[in-house]
Structure 1
Amino acid sequence: MSAEHAVSQLSSETLHASCVAIDGHAVLIEGPSGAGKSDLTLRLIDRGAVLVSDDYTLLLRRDGVLYAAAPQTIRGQIEVRGIGVVELPCIAEAPVAAVIVIDPNPERMPERDSVRPIAGIAVPQFALPALEPSAPIKVELVVRRLLATRA
């Protein structure tokens, strides 16, 4: 079995990514430490998203659908720089809609079909600057556009 085939057969992965649910669908927020994952997560929660996981997210493939969940040890917790660990309402899991990769200088007009395989599922991927004031709105637009194309 090739390494590529073995990776496509994985039924779970853990990513260094935060995750919120928007309209019941998970959005993974990935980037290096200090890039703004938790900041963007907090701003999305302030706009109505629900915490799934902060910093590390478990991804599980079931029946051809990828689900995001928090490791039990950090469920319902988020690290807020300058404050510490804070408990917030959360959901146990949500189906994954997209991956947001934090990039301070994303392409102005990116390719529309950028996908990333996670646990054998192709997930739409977008690059966004996390600390721009409009970042939460852009993430919401991504999710709503993806959901509209699936309907």
Structure 2
Amino acid sequence: MTGETIHATCVAFADIGILLRGPSGAGKSDLALRLIDAGAVLVADDRVALIQKSGDIVARPPEALAGRLEVRGVGVCVLPQAGDAPLKLVCDLGGPDRIQRLPKPGWCEYLGVRIRRMDVAPFEASAAVKLRVAAYSAVGRRDPVSGARIACEAVLRDNRQSEDR
């Protein structure tokens, strides 16, 4: 298996790995923490090992960093860790001025495999939700959290209408 280790952070929603790229201090770990709060699991922070496996790029932590996330102002925290995750979305962190309103689908390549890529402003309040929705969309699936909320709202609306009759 061929591979490389890069400076990045990776989280996963189920079987959907999201790679966060940007220079030191760009907000990778901060955004990862918010994604974890939104239901993701940590794969790796600061250094991510990438390998090619069965036509996919798989992200995994270097052994020394497994389960550790640096939280600025708190320190290094030990968190549950996802293990290997198939990489399905690469996010380049930057300022809000870099984000296009309606971007065309972007791509990048690791170890000869094309992966969906997008820009994200990491400190926007909606950044974690945007990435969760984009990650599920990248693999052709609907975000289960948003879908569940929509279903619950529909049931509540129907119940209210029944009570009004």
Instruction: With a CA cutoff of 8 Å and minimum separation of 6, indicate the structure with the bigger relative contact order.
Output: 1
Q: How far apart are residue 139 of structure 1 and its match?
A: 0.3
Q: Which residue of 1 aligns with 2:72?
A: 81
Corresponding pairs, count: 139
Q: Which residue of 1 aligns with 2:125?
A: 133
* Candidates 73, 79, 100, aligned match of 1:107: 100
SS class of match (1:40): helix
Q: Which has the larger radius of gyration?
A: 2
Q: Does 1:145 align with 2:137?
A: yes
Where do 5+ consecutive residues of structure 1 fail to align?
1-9
Give TM-score, length-normalised by structure 2: 0.81
Q: Does 1:33 align with 2:24?
A: yes
What is the alpha-carbon distance in structure 1 between the residues aligned to residue 4 and residue 114 of structure 2?
A: 13
Q: How far apart are residue 11 of structure 1 and its match?
A: 2.4
Q: Which residue of 2 aligns with 1:96?
A: 87
Q: Which has the higher helix share?
A: 2
Q: Which residue of 2 aligns with 1:70?
A: 61
Identical-residue share of aligned pairs (%): 38
Contact 2:16–2:136, Cα closer than 8 Å, also in 1: no
SS class of match (2:139): helix
- Moved runs in structure 1, 4+ residues, more than 2 A? none
Give TM-score, length-normalised by structure 1: 0.88
Where do 5+ consecutive residues of structure 2 fail to align?
142-165
